Amino acid sequence: MPKGSFPEVEIVEMTERHLDAVLKIEHRSFVAPWSRRLFQETMSFPLSLSLVIRKKVDKKVLGYANFYVIAGEVQILNVAVAPEERGQGYGRLLLSRSIDILRSRGAKLFFLEVREGNAHAIELYHKLGFRKVGRRRKYYTETNEDALVMRMKTDKWTGSTT
């Protein structure tokens, strides 16, 4: 789990007031970014959880994650950290705390798709306990890349350390 302490940040539920910052990160992070409307629809869906990690002092959004939670299974929909904030442990902190929150609500299995070429994300997911369970050929139509399907069972989760 994340090393060190992160007293300068907090993880809160995503709201409309976060969307301008979230969309800036989204557009800098993905070839086919989500629209404002898609974020709004996801936040309003009763079986979803959307979180942001932000600085406590100035409320600057550093990253975000969106999840669907259905019958004890979690689909990780979207995760990103601002490019200038990457490599500092914020993504790992956000995901580990999110997993803790979702486990406390009864989640047993976590799934995600990740671009086959996204080595940094794949490494992070492995460190969190995810394992490859499949492949979706040409899943990312804008680049013709395959997606790796990864799964984590909560019995493999050791919990966050912060």
Residues assigned a catalytic role: 113, 125
d(CA 19, CA 43): 11
Task: Report how far Cα 150 is from the mean position of its chain's Cα atoms.
Answer: 13
Q: Which strand ranges, in their side-by-side order, compose the sheet holding 73-81?
A: 9-13, 48-55, 61-70, 73-81, 109-115, 145-153, 131-140
Is residue 100 within 8 Å of residue 110, measured between CB atoms?
no
Q: What are phi and psi of 58, to 5 degrees?
A: -110, 0
The C-alpha angle 22, 17, 101, rounded to 5 degrees, equals 70
Count other Cβ atoms within 10 Å, centred on residue 34: 18
d(CA 148, CA 156): 19
